[in-house]
């Protein structure tokens, strides 16, 4: 009898987001650049030779471990599994065997997987009922964002100064605009300035913000909180908003969460302060943001993932145009040789 996943949080994760396969990826890319016709054969040989070697954690491993631990509450919850994790990889079944072997070695309760032999792994997310997809492949992440089938993120490299994380909890940290919420307010900030942004957000504080690419994921996580035993304030699922917004633009965020019936454990309205300082204290299992200026400082300490803009995003166009103008200005001001 098919299992029902309507009430289940389903996380899809690529093999390279779950485990550190950077060395294998490097082998493939170097061979592909020099001799693309034999690159796949060389990669297959490499993976078979390394089949019995253990793999290190990828960026998504702390999140996956802690999410799977939530199923220990399953007897107290009646509606199917609380969390399901699916490995969706561009490896073939043969080259992916090393990944499956590592999952068994670690005794991770991951039972579903797909190995697509080079085809876009994003094509199978809807079939697996995926709510969140973590990948190291930018093409896959962009396609998912453009399709809107689920939340998706491009994971950064595993933290080099990683802290020990509490596996009895799952701690999520989200940026606000262009992640949980639409990019509409940020476009006002970019085009009309901070003062106008503050004024409009204060004026419209009773109007819920438009949903962004992670709104449905946040709502699903809120449902998971409700399924777990005990008061929601003591839930093992902790949700935090980490945003550059500050007063008078903060009220609209809280009122939007109320309108969505979503309980947020913590909210940080930071203005110009660096998010990485607060993330290091919060210790999330994953941090989602749309800007590298926040992600790069944070990713050395906490698992971090980039939320890409849709291909037709006006905000993306604005940012790229601004970068191009900055480069032109710098080149014009550079001293002649």
Contact 192/258 with Cβ under 8 angstroms?
A: no
Helix (H) or strand (E) holding 296: helix 292-299
The count of other CB atoms within 10 Å of the CB of residue 186 is 23
Each residue's pLDDT tens digit, 129-143: 999 999 999 999 999
Contact 132/152 with Cβ under 8 angstroms?
A: yes
Beta strands in the chain (DSSP E): 9-13, 83-89, 112-115, 132-135, 151-155, 170-174, 237-243, 266-269, 286-289, 304-306
3-state class (DSSP) for residue 141: helix
Q: CA dist 304 to 58, 66, 177, 220, Å?
A: 11, 16, 17, 20
Cα distance between residue 68 and residue 87, in whole Å: 13
Confidence (pLDDT) at 8? 92
- The backbone torsions φ and ψ at residue 145, rounded to the nearest 5 degrees and listed phi first, read -60, -45
Residue 46 has pLDDT above 90, yes or no: no
3-state class (DSSP) for residue 229: coil
Confidence (pLDDT) at 254? 97
Structure tokens at 162: 């990683």
Confidence (pLDDT) at 181? 98
Confidence (pLDDT) at 40? 81
Residue 77 has pLDDT above 60, yes or no: no
Structure tokens at 58: 């990828």
DSSP secondary-structure letter at 162?
P
What is the band of 337 on the pLDDT scale with cuts at 50, 70, 90?
A: low
Each residue's pLDDT tens digit, 267-290: 999 998 999 999 999 999 999 999
Confidence (pLDDT) at 304? 97
Residue 242 has pLDDT above 90, yes or no: yes
Mean pLDDT of the chain: 90
Question: Mean pLDDT throughout 112-137?
Answer: 92
Confidence (pLDDT) at 75? 61
Percent of all residues in the chain with a pLDDT value above 70, rounded to a whole number: 94
Confidence (pLDDT) at 230? 77
Write the CB contacts of 97 (distance below 8 Å, at least 6 apart in sequence).
Answer: 47, 51
Cα distance between residue 57 and residue 159, in whole Å: 10
Confidence (pLDDT) at 329? 67
Structure tokens at 332: 């014009």
Domains and CATH numbers, the chain: 9-155 (3.40.50.1000), 170-317 (3.40.50.1000)
Confidence (pLDDT) at 334? 66
């Amino acid at each position: 009898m098919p299992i029902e996943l309507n009430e289940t949080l389903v996380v899809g994760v690529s093999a390279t987001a779950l485990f550190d396969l950077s060395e294998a990826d490097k082998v493939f890319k170097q061979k592909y650049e020099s001799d693309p016709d034999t690159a796949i054969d060389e990669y297959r040989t490499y993976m078979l030779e390394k089949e019995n070697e253990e793999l290190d954690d990828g960026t998504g491993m702390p999140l996956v471990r802690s999410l799977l631990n939530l199923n220990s509450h399953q007897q107290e919850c009646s509606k199917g599994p609380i969390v399901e994790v699916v490995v969706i990889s561009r490896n073939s079944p043969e080259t992916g065997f090393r990944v499956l072997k590592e999952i068994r070695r670690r005794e991770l309760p991951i039972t579903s997987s797909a190995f697509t032999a080079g085809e876009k792994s994003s094509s199978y997310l809807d079939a697996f009922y995926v709510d969140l997809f973590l990948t190291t492949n930018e093409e896959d992440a962009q396609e998912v964002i453009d399709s809107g089938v689920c939340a998706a993120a491009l994971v950064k490299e595993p933290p080099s100064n990683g802290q020990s994380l509490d596996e009895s909890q799952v701690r999520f940290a989200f940026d606000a605009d262009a992640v949980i919420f639409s990019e509409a307010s940020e476009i006002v900030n970019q085009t009309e300035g901070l003062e106008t942004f503050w004024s409009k957000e204060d004026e419209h504080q009773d109007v819920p913000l438009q949903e962004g690419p992670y709104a449905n994921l946040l709502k699903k996580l809120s449902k998971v909180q409700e399924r777990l035993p005990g008061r929601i304030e003591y839930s093992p699922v902790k949700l935090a908003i980490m945003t550059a917004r500050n007063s008078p633009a903060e009220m609209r965020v809280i009122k939007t969460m109320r309108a969505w019936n979503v309980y947020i454990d913590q909210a940080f309205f930071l203005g110009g302060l660096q998010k990485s300082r607060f993330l290091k204290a919060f210790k999330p299992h994953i941090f989602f943001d749309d800007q590298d200026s926040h992600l790069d400082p944070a990713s050395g300490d906490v698992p971090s993932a980039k939320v890409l803009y849709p291909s037709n995003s006006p905000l993306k166009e604005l940012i790229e145009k601004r970068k191009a103008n900055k480069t032109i200005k710098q080149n014009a001001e550079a001293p002649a040789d």
